[in-house]
Amino acid sequence: MSALQLEILLPVYNESDILEENVGRVVRYLDAEKKWDYRLMIVDNGSTDRTPEVSKAVCGKFAGRVGMLRLDAKGRGRALRYGLLQSKAQIVGYMDIDLSGDLRAFDELYAAIAEGCDIAVGTRLARGSCVTRSPFRKALSCGYNVLVKKILKIDVSDAQCGFKLVRRGPVLGILPFVKSDHWCFDTELLFFALKKGLKVKEVPLSWQERDKGRSTVRIVPYVFEGLGTVIRLAMSANSFR
């Protein structure tokens, strides 16, 4: 293996209130597990609050375990793409800084990669998942994923969950096709991965909707982006090789 076994990307936008506490939680969890040579990489995408300053302080506090990348433009997908391109690790993960996904899922996600999968996907919608979130968000998520399965014909239960581990090499091969700079990066990544024949495995996830800080997801733009992405991918499906 390479010197760095695992790098975990943390895309952030205006998360100064929870950043230090939650990075600390991830570091303590992974250190206690003692299973991986890892690094966390905060990828700040255009924050306008104190996130850049807090990120620098966190990097100093957890020197050697936490690094930082800074983009001037906003966009979760943009941040993930940049992080994947900059990483030198063989295995790259990413997760939301609100830590909605249970950190214990790392074990199963990593095991799936170790067994030969190219992408291990946390899912909130498969049997075995345990999800606490608002009825509206549940309905929105279920509706979107039904649309994805029916129109795009890809066999995944949760196309938008932001908790994944990937083999960096194979994923770099499809990254040029992934155009979303925002919230539908995950859907595009899985669509092109499956069309290209990459091995994808879903892992049931425990998920607790954030109870601290305000989500930066805006529902109406998110819905329109999702619909536009599904239409664009459906139109491109026959031309992709």
Q: Domain residue spans in the chain?
A: 1-99, 101-162+169-241
pTM strictly above 0.85: yes
In the prediction, which pLDDT does 220 show? 82
CB 218 within 8 A of CB 227: no
pLDDT of 6 above 80:
yes
Gyration radius of the chain over CA positions:
17
Residues 117 and 33: their CA atoms lie apart, in Å, by 22
Q: Please give the residue that has the higher pLDDT: either 224 or 214.
A: 224
Residues 160 and 18: their CA atoms lie apart, in Å, by 22
1-99: what CATH class?
alpha beta
CB 133 within 8 A of CB 123: no
Residues 16 and 221: their CA atoms lie apart, in Å, by 23
In the prediction, which pLDDT does 127 show? 87
pLDDT of 211 above 80:
no
In whole angstroms, how far apart are CA 109 and each of 56, 97, 102, 151, 182?
29, 18, 12, 27, 24
In the prediction, which pLDDT does 212 show? 59
pLDDT grade, residue 215 (50/70/90)? low
β-partners of residue 204 are 123
pLDDT of 238 above 70:
no
